[in-house]
């Protein structure tokens, strides 16, 4: 049985992190309190990341974090 990234809340969070990293952002404060789980109108579970206040831009050339958004 294979899971699609849209059907599994844990994989939804991984996809969200991948999207942030592709933008050059690191969340920097992942914990249960910063993940939201809800049920959409069709009854499917949806996971979301919240609280990007500690996020940092990563310089893609140097790999150095800059904590000013």
Q: How many CB atoms lie within 10 A of CB 44?
A: 11
Give tens-digit pLDDT for 26-36: 999 999 999 99
Q: What is the pTM of this model?
A: 0.76
Can you give 9-69 as a three-state secondary structure string? HHHHHHHHHHHHHHCCEECCCCCHHHEEEEECCCCCEEEEECCCCCCEEECCCCCCEECCC
Quote the DSSP letter at residue 1.
-
**pLDDT tens digits along 7-26:** 788 999 999 999 999 999 99
For the CA atoms of 38, 43, 45, 46, the dihedral, rounded to the nearest 10 degrees, stands at: -60
């Amino acid at each position: 049985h294979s899971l699609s990234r849209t059907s599994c809340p844990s994989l939804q969070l991984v996809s969200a992190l991948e999207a942030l990293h592709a933008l050059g952002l690191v969340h920097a404060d992942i914990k249960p309190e910063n993940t939201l789980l809800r049920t959409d109108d069709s009854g499917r579970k949806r996971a979301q990341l919240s609280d990007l206040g500690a996020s940092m831009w990563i310089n893609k050339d140097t790999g150095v974090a800059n904590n000013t958004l």
